[in-house]
Structure 1
Amino acid sequence: MPRRILAPLALLCAPLLAAEPLLYNRDIQPILTAKCVACHACYDAPCQLNLGSAEGLLRGASKLPVYDGVRTRAQATTRLYFDARSEAAWRDLGFHSVLDARAGQASLIARMLELGRAQPLQVNAKLPDDLDLSIARDNQCPTPDEFAAYAKRFPHAGMPFAVTGLTDAEYATLQDWVRQGAPLEPQTLLPSALERKQIAEWERFLNAPGARESLVNRWLFEHLFLAHLYFEGGEPGHFFQLVRSRTPSGQPIDPIATRRPNEAPGGDFHYRLWPVQGAIVHKTHITYPLSAKKLERVRELFYASDWTVEALPGYGAQRRANPFETFQAIPAEARYQFMLDNAEYFVRTFIRGPVCRGQIATDVIRDHFWTLFQDPSHDLYLIDADYRALATPLLAMPGQFDDIGDLLPLWRRYRDKRNQYETLRHDAYARAPAPSWSHLWAGNDNALLSIFRQHDSASVRKGLIGAVPQTLWLLDYPLFERAYYQLVVNFDVFGNVSHQAQTRLYFDLIRNGAELNFLRLLPPQSRQDYLDDWYQDSGKLKMWLDYADVDLDSPTAFILPSQGAKGAFVETLLQRYGTLNARPDPLNRCRTGECHRPGLPAELEDAEQALSRLTGRPAGGLKAIAQLPEATLLRVQLADGRREVYSLLRNRAHSNVAFMMGESLRYQPELDTLTVYPGVLSSYPNFMFSLSAGEVPEFVAALEQARDEAAFEKVVRRWGIRRSHPEFWRYFNDLSAYLRETEPVEAGVLDMNRYQNL
């Protein structure tokens, strides 16, 4: 990515020492990546201080948080690399320097490191309870002039914050760098010859002239702008993002920074592939593959049939609100199939990303569920032009207007449109052939997905992981596309409370629609009981107030018993789609008594057999679940030096997830369960245990016997890696190393903003 070289800053402290000059990319960024990026990345970086690159350091810090659920006005966007291109421009946007010296004092970053050094933590002890570690804490974000008062008031708030600090060598290196003037240099990721060839081919395709081409390429941009794109045969660690640039191929990229990707670019532009710079962090690293085969697939999908464009659509609010109208000239079959081909990517965009913190959206979903997709050949929106014409005007989504006073009228208008659509869909599908196995898409291993939610974050995996969940989703094209546009393309993390509320309320309707689609697969006489289970207590009020009527009558062609229909459906699903299920799961769905993956070393077989005892048991029986956070990672060391990592995910139970506020009032903690699965299934570890494979049975037994906080404390003291553990960073960074070994394309630095003080 072409970047202007950043000139060394003025001296920040003492005169330069007679020492070998330190290079930022070689000597400094690796330390920041190892010890700082775990907190300081994405929009949830404290004080917006992003330490993943030189550009982030130069931007500095801001007192203005990105996450503000009550602001009445949208705030200016402050996206690194896009919204300002110089230090002066960032200062105009309210950022203050962390590198400049003031009145003979060291820079802010140097003093923050000194403060952290002055207050070492007690080794592997629980931190003081009055030290606020929550992600909702009020970060002070002092300017250089305010630092003395800050240090006096918050003596334990130096950096790294509330965690084992830098080694002596790391600390000395950073302080030497400061004394040398804190010189910066951009990371210059240069595409390989093979990557340059493929970039040229894709840019030529994406900028081809013609009305059809312009419309297709706009749709593709709006669906790939968030991706970290990588090339088949490309260099490891090389990723690219699709941007609109004022400059054509062959020239340095000059990105156009609109608030949303479907807003007017304001003049001529070109689609370009821009190298992703800075440290790769797992929470924003949502990957998508490009290759010659993929390019041919895109041509096949979008240009094989004969269709025309009468006039190119504009970029107004109505065009943003209803992409079904905006892109109606493109065959719907092509649009849906493109999304199905890489369904995991698209579900990740609105479940895992793009904003790094999203309880306003995630509290509308269960903590664990599976997602299936309707086969295109049975999706009426694709195959019935008359139905599509009636449905399209009803598929518009809210969020384009954010006047506080219009919140309720806007919500009611779009809710009513959605419910009119649901009534139309109900009647049309009642006249269509009853659903059967052929109605479920089974085109590749993206057809079966598992979703796990941990409070304000969530993750997506191919395959069916965990015990049979309380709910399943069945997405058709109108639901899939609306979820993507509502939560990704049209969502503005810098928006005000009205915009965010409209987004959350409409996503509630999308979830409800996906659940009802699945319910229609089951026998009519069983549906009400499942519905009552999903919408308990206040959920019944929401059913009456906001949701369309449920189809309790239309027949199904699935041969299922009236009692236990969902379980019978899942059993058959696992048998029929066994070759598509990317994640067989004997730990959580043990059928034979051998509750472990096949082909493991004996010590790991025994470990997994023991871990399986933690699954399928509600917290009412396994009391330790109440003590565990929502995403715990278990590091298991083997005798030969290798290690395996397991995710212990606490699935919180709710009476319903139908309301935006008061989630804690709907918790059913005695029904919480654990999913145990090999691998790192969350970008945000809440805690970590480390033990040998031979200790796993003892660890499991200790959890089974830990019926209160005091007993659980003994487990933590013996095997837990607390924030104050002297080797905390070795263990924490080993999780990223494990990802690089097991899932190299998906690997990135994990986030520790939610690492708990157990």
Structure 2
Amino acid sequence: MKKPFLLSMLFIVLSGCAYLGAAHYDELFGPEQTQQRIVAHNTGSGAEFLQHVQPVLESRCVVCHGCYDAPCQLKLSSPEGIDRGLSKELVYDGTRLLASTPSRLLFDATQTSQWREKGFAPVLNEREQSEQANLAGSVLYNSLVLKMSSPLPEEGVLDDEFDFSLDRSQSCASIGEFDRLADSQPHAGMPYGLPGISRTEFKHLENWLKNGGKMAHIKPPSKTVLAQAQRWESFLNQDGLKHQLAARYIFEHWYLAHIYFAQDGEKSFFKLVRSTTPPGQDIVLVNTRRPYDDPKVERVYYRLMHDRSTILAKTHLPLALDDTKLARLYHQFIEPDYKVEKMPSYTADVASNPFKSFAAIPTKSKYQFMLDEAELIIMGFIKGPVCRGQIALNVINDHFWVAFADPDKAATPEVGQMLMQHEDALALPAAEESNALPISSWVKYSQRQSAYLEAKVKLANSMFKNGENLTTDVLWRGEGVNDNAALTIFRHFDSATVVKGFIGQEPKTMWVLDYALFERIHYLLVAGFDVYGNIGHQLITRLYMDFLRLEGEQNFLALLPQQQRKQLKANWYRKSPTSLTEFFKSGESFSQPTGVEYQTQDQQHELYGLIKQTLKPVLSPRYDYKQVPEPLQQLNNMPAKAVNLLPQISYILVKDGDKEHQAYTLIHHNAHYNISSLLNEEGQRAYAEDTVTIVPGFIGDYPEAIWYLNNPQQVASFAEQLPMMQVEADYRALKSQFAIRRTHPQFWQYSDILHRVAQQYRGVEYGLFDYNRLENR
């Protein structure tokens, strides 16, 4: 060992293993007082942080501590998050009776002292600023030392002492509580349930902490990039009411995006935010629960705020802006001939209902705007706050395709008039705000949905009663160039992914979205969803999504023969609850025959082929499962018994000599009799119907298993043995042979390889993976 390392270990021993107990800290180092830690990026300590400390935090810590679902709310992805510290309060709590107080970085407090008032405890020393105190008084440092003093057991699979469930109890120990934690959970050191960091990495963190934990933000964007941002701010903040309404609409759909400028080689990312200050002044964030809540000021300004935090795959929604996009927005929102007499109210019943608040904007303009970035808009409900948790996502199937109705056919003046006449029926559960009563609300919204569907079906029946029937011509073709026209959504139990193209084998179901349906999904699951809301809000959101899923499926079924529609729906909803069965029976249904002339008895398969042919010019080939080479290609045909043993997402890295790594994703699709049972998903599982898809590249953001195959012989052996699995012991044996378990001594080395390969595959879409779902098998 080198001398400095021995000295640091000696300090730990002399200070009582660094666990001094709450009563001793004030006596030894004085009372707690928040510190000013953020320095300029071009200072000595700032450069040290960015060059040596931040890379360690990102690659070893942020992979578990990065977002809403970070254990103890400890977000190590930004200086503000590190300074804020940890909290015992849960963000994801499906049982709370009353909405909780939000704790969003940058929004809900602007100073560290305010976070202390909200109950957040520091992970850096806030007492006397001496080298000894800075180490002894740091939860972060003590967590690293605890890992070194009690490393992972050497067995491949860890025992029940380690709890990796998403809803595990969290100690969230402050420095005064840390000694008790260390005594009761000696393996609670960080990184939790993973190998410790290297000696070099430890020294970087130790020196940083010893010297006061100074932090710096990444350097600001170049003048060229800032000029582009200012140009967009000028467009979004013009004085006319027409411009203001358009900007409000754009903001409410783009506020989650990571905006960058296409010609920016740096790839600086920005967030579109509401500020009380106009362009040219410092941004003062408007702090509301939802993007459409009352800002409590006479006028808000839409600003582009440089996002200086680490980019995480699970929250990364890149959106490129350029002159073409600017001209497109002008064409969609400013050129059309319509008048805005006054700005819409911010009251909940209006602001939560886009059909009321944006009634003045032509339906076709709004729909085309959403279609242009359809993947991004849908990604909002997958990577936004609703993304975590089985209750939030068990409303969708594990694998389905999405197409869209053509705006020229589905956003006509007649449709716009019908939407205006039934805007109250289109009201969403967010109108109840964050505290709702689920049962009475479900009854109310189911009646409204029935009323809207009746009007929609009546209009459709009248439009197609004169011999002109529905065919695949009704689908939006992306104007021949936009690959957002065809999407695939994968659900991975408690997370999900959306990608461009029709990916994988033919799915059980498909959605066709029209404007009203697309808009309601966004305002239900993204703009209107409050992750801090009570159980009623979360349940009614989940229940209402049943209606929207059914509507999307019904749009697809309308392209099939009438008898086939009934048969397919009956198969999709086997063993469905009585309430849903009654909902099926209520109201008028689309009664017109399909205009598709079928040539076979397998009409669903034939329709899938026709839709793919219709959208062929814009189908993205990026994740084409047929491009996976043999012998891995044969994994697409694995028997269900073997598939049942697989986790939801597995990454496979193949190294062949001196060539670059090839990456593949193995996706397990859970089959269900139906997906309309809120609390009994296990009872609805159809295990014998489970399937799997292997695709090139990376799908998903939460790897559960990582397989590393060194040569063609290993690839052949892996591809042969995986489909032959019968029981858990078979799976564990294969992992011992081919996998990088969380206990692998070189886990971090392979983690670095995984991220390096992912960066090559994903480009601007790249962000750090999250290891909170990494299995222990």
The TM-score, its normalising length taken from structure 2, stands at: 0.90
Write the distance in 1 (CA, Å) between the matches of 2:523 and 2:618. 27
How far residue 237 of structure 1 moved from its aligned partner, in angstroms, is: 3.5
Kindly state the Cα deviation for residue 150 of structure 1 after the two structures are TM-superposed.
1.1
Task: Say whether residues 1:501 and 2:539 are aligned partners.
Answer: yes
**Comparing 609-618 and 540-549, the one that deviates more:** 540-549
Structure 1: any 5+ residue segments left out of the alignment?
10-18, 588-594, 598-607
2: CA distance, partners of 1:235 / 1:249: 24
CA distance 1:8–1:155, shift in 2 (3 Å): same
- Correspondence 1:701-740 to 2 at 5 A: 701-740=720-759
Find the partner of 1:487 among 525, 536, 561. 525
Q: 1:405 Cα shift?
A: 7.3
- Residue of structure 2 aligned with 1:613, choices 614, 634, 639: 634
Corresponding position: 1:553 with 2:607: no
Quickly say closer, same or farther: Cα 1:549–1:472, change in 2 above 3 A: farther
Q: How does 1:558-577 map to 2 (within 5 A)?
A: 558-561=596-599, 563-577=601-615
Aligned to 2:669: 651
Output one character per residue of 1:240-275: Cα deviation in whole Å (capped at 9) or x when no partner.
001111222222212111111101111133211001
Partner of 1:370: 401
1:392-420 C-alpha deviation (Å, 9 max, x unpaired): 22111013326867432222111111111
Report whether the alignment pairs 1:435 with 2:464.
Answer: no
CA displacement at 1:163 relative to structure 2: 0.4
- How much does 1:386 deviate? 3.7
Quick one: which of 293, 296, 301 aligns to 1:266?
A: 296
Equivalent position to 1:152, from 177, 183, 187: 183
SS of 2:403's equivalent in the other structure is strand
Match of 1:743 among 762, 766, 775: 762
Cα 1:315/1:124, change in 2 over 3 Å: same
Is 1:172 the counterpart of 2:203? The answer is: yes
Amino acid corresponding to residue 226 of structure 2 in structure 1: R
- The 1:401–1:22 alpha-carbon spacing in structure 2 relative to 1, beyond 3 Å, is same
Deviation at 1:233, TM superposition (A): 0.6
Q: What's the secondary structure of 1:392's corresponding residue?
A: coil
Query: What one-letter code is carried by the residue in structure 1 that aligns with 2:631?
Result: A
> Quick one: distance in 1 between partners of 2:416 and 2:394?
36
Q: CA deviation at 1:662?
A: 0.9
Letter in 1 for 2:720: A
* 1:7 pairs with 2:36: yes
Q: Distance in 2 between matches of 1:437 and 1:426?
A: 18
Query: Measured at CA, do residues 90 and 448 of structure 1 come closer, stay the same or move farther in structure 2, by a change above 3 Å?
Result: same
Q: Secondary structure at the match of 1:446?
A: helix
Instruction: Indicate the residue corresponding to 1:14 in structure 2.
Output: none
In structure 2, distance between residues paired with 1:330 and 1:342: 18
SS in 1 for 2:485: coil
Partner of 1:95: 120
SS at match of 1:199: helix
Question: Which residue number corresponds to residue 279 of structure 2?
Answer: 249
Distance 1:406 1:55 in 2: 36
Question: Could you give the per-residue CA deviations for residues 177-216 of structure 1, whole angstroms, max 9, x where no partner exists?
Answer: 222222223x144122321221111111100011111111
Q: CA deviation at 1:730?
A: 2.2
Change (3 A) 1:124 1:232: farther
Amino acid paired to 2:645: Q
Q: Is residue 216 of structure 2 the alignment partner of residue 191 of structure 1?
A: no
- The aligned counterpart of 2:5 is none
SS in 1 for 2:430: coil
Q: Do 1:586 and 1:596's aligned partners in 2 also have CA atoms closer than 8 Å?
A: yes
Match of 2:246 among 216, 238, 246: 216
1:297 aligns with 2:328: yes
How is 1:304-383 mapped onto 2 (pairs within 5 angstroms)? 304-379=335-410, 382-383=413-414
Hey, what does 2:552 align to over in structure 1? Answer: 514
Q: Which moved more, 1:110-119 or 1:562-571?
A: 562-571
1:320–1:490 contact (8 Å) kept in structure 2: no
1:70 is aligned, of 92, 95, 105, to 95
1:25 to 46, 50, 67: 50
The CA deviation at 1:7 is 2.8
2:710 match:
692
- Picking from 140, 147, 152, the partner of 1:121 is 152
SS of the equivalent of 2:401 reads strand
Instruction: Using the TM superposition, give the Cα deviation of residue 512 of structure 1 relative to its aligned residue in structure 2, in angstroms.
Output: 0.9
**What is residue 668 of structure 1 aligned with on the other side?**
686
Q: 1:182 aligns with which of 213, 218, 243?
A: 213
- Alignment deviations for residues 482-508 of structure 1 (CA, whole Å, 9 cap, x no partner): 000111111111111111111111111
1:209/1:244 Cα in 2 relative to 1: closer, same or farther (>3 Å)? same
CA distance in 2, matches of 1:49, 1:546: 45
**Residues 458 and 528 of structure 1: CA distance in aligned 2, closer, same or farther (over 3 Å):** same
Determine the C-alpha separation between the residues in 1 that align with 2:383 and 2:195. Answer: 28
CA distance in 1, matches of 2:431, 2:554: 27
**Partner residue, 1:240:** 270
Structure 2: runs of 5+ lacking an equivalent: 1-33, 39-43
Answer whether contact 2:381 2:387 (CA < 8 A) is retained: no
8 Å Cα contact 1:447/1:580 also seen in 2: yes
Counterpart code for 1:352: K
State the partner residue of 1:16.
none
2:11 maps to which residue? none
Q: CA offsets per residue over residues 641-693 of structure 1, 9 Å max, x none? A: 30111100000000000122111111111211111001110010011100035
After superposition, the C-alpha distances for 1:74-119 in whole angstroms (9 at most, x for unaligned) are: 1111111221111101111110111126696431111111111112
The offset of 1:285, in angstroms, is 0.5
Aligned residue type for 2:655:
Q
Q: What's the counterpart of residue 600 of structure 1?
A: none
Aligned mates of 2:413, 2:704 — CA distance in 1: 43
Paired AA for residue 576 in structure 1 = T
Which residue is 2:561 aligned to? 523
Shift of 1:547: 7.1
Residue among 463, 487, 496 paired with 1:449: 487
Superposed CA RMSD in Å reads 2.2
**C-alpha separation in 2, matches of 1:751 and 1:692:** 24
Summarize the Cα distance change of 1:357–1:586 in structure 2 as closer, same or farther, 3 Å threshold.
closer
Shift of 1:128: 1.3
Change (3 A) 1:321 1:546: farther
Q: Distance in 2 between matches of 1:578 and 1:348?
A: 22
5 Å matches for 1:28-107?
28-100=53-125, 105-107=136-138
**Number of residue pairs aligned between Structure 1 and Structure 2:** 725
1:381–1:388 contact (8 Å) kept in structure 2: no
Offset, 1:8: 4.0
Q: Distance in 1 between matches of 2:331 and 2:721?
A: 57
Q: Which whole-Å CA distance do the structure 2 matches of 1:30 and 1:671 have between them?
A: 44
**SS at 2:764 equivalent:** coil
Task: After the TM superposition, list the runs of 4 or more consecutive aligned residues in structure 1 that deviate by more than 6 angstroms.
Answer: 19-22
Does residue 656 of structure 2 align to residue 638 of structure 1? yes
Helix, strand or coil at the partner of 2:251? helix
Q: TM-score scaled to structure 1, two decimals?
A: 0.92
